[in-house]
Amino acid sequence: MATRRVATIFGGSGFIGRYVVKRFAQQGFIVRVPSRDPEGALFLKPMGAVGQIVPLFASITNEATVHRAVDDAEVVVNLVGALTESGAASFQAIHAEGSERIARLSAAAGASRLIQISAIGADPNSPSRYASTKGRAEQGVLARFPRAVILRPSLVFGLEDKFFNRFAEIARLSPFMPVISGDTKMQPVYVADVADAVMAAQASSEPQGKIFELGGPRVWTFREILAFILKAIRRERRLVDIPMGIARIQASILQHVPGKPLTPDQLLMLSKDNVVSPGALGLADLGITPTPVELVVPGYLSRFQPGGGRRPTIPMPLDR
């Protein structure tokens, strides 16, 4: 009789997580999806057979619920992250302390694989609270689970992303496109490639204890990305550079607005290049050929075209 294989995917109902959950289900795993809102994860269930995908209540800040979530799991993936802080949900609590807790309890439960999704730029000494706590998370994970694999994606794009879609919506509504730190470099990586990287990391024993930086085939400046978005949605908008001093004032005000559209910490991250480091292990080392932005993004941004893009000229490829 085949042994039941269990994968626990923290953050499985999020943007990247849904792609990871689908892949584990396709490989026959029982997939647990711990969440503070299990009802919000029910949309994942049709990705597997009856009873195969199991949303359950857990918070990475709560020891007992994390312990229950990783019990008897062969593979644990931590995709949980926050771009802004809110109350008790601080970067320190979510990134550093939560990740360390998952790693420690996964090791104690006997998990054979732990994959931590971090971010390019993660550095305990970074002036950005986001990047510094991501760096401390990596340290805590490797201290508690030395065989863990760390994946650091650059900007992740895909149908449900909050970057390309967000700026396309701004372009649809605004008479101009604001540009902050337009020369900052980024290396957008397709969400399906990130999910494939997770599967490659769990399938092989070779990557254990290593860090991989995941970037797409092209390095873009922020200004080039915005110009590309305008072309994809067929709207003419002037790109207007916003001086950093004015951007800081705006961020100080907007960080108190519900949804926090811009924070001072995000400005710090936006001022630093977000590209794969020279010599770093990457997608190629996991056997993955990166997907170009040009192949995917125009398809899902067509809805922002005048008239709603009822006749898109570029089809969007299906998730692999």
Q: Does residue 318 register a pLDDT over 70?
A: no
- pLDDT, one tens digit per residue, over 13-27 is 999 999 999 999 999
- pLDDT, one tens digit per residue, over 174-227 is 999 999 999 999 999 999 999 999 999 999 888 889 999 999 999 999 999 999
CA atoms within 13 A on the CB side of 166: 8
Spatial distance between the Cα atoms of 13 and 35, rounded to a whole number of angstroms: 8
For CA atoms 317, 162, 82, 189, the dihedral sign is: positive
With 0-12 / 13-18 / 19 or more C-beta atoms within 10 angstroms meaning exposed / middle / buried, residue 308 is: exposed
State both tokens at 271. Answer: 């001022």
Look at residue 161 and give its three-state secondary structure: coil
Q: Helices 63-70 and 98-109 meet at what angle, rounded to 10? A: 40
pTM: 0.92
Radius of gyration of the chain (CA): 20
Spatial distance between the Cα atoms of 69 and 102, rounded to a whole number of angstroms: 9
Residue 320: band (very low, low, confident or very high) from pLDDT cuts 50, 70, 90: low
CB-CB contact of 231 with 302 (8 Å): no
Spatial distance between the Cα atoms of 98 and 78, rounded to a whole number of angstroms: 9
Distance of CA 7 to the CA centre of its chain: 19
Give the residue-averaged pLDDT of 146-152. 97
DSSP letter at 61 equals T
CB-CB contact of 251 with 180 (8 Å): no
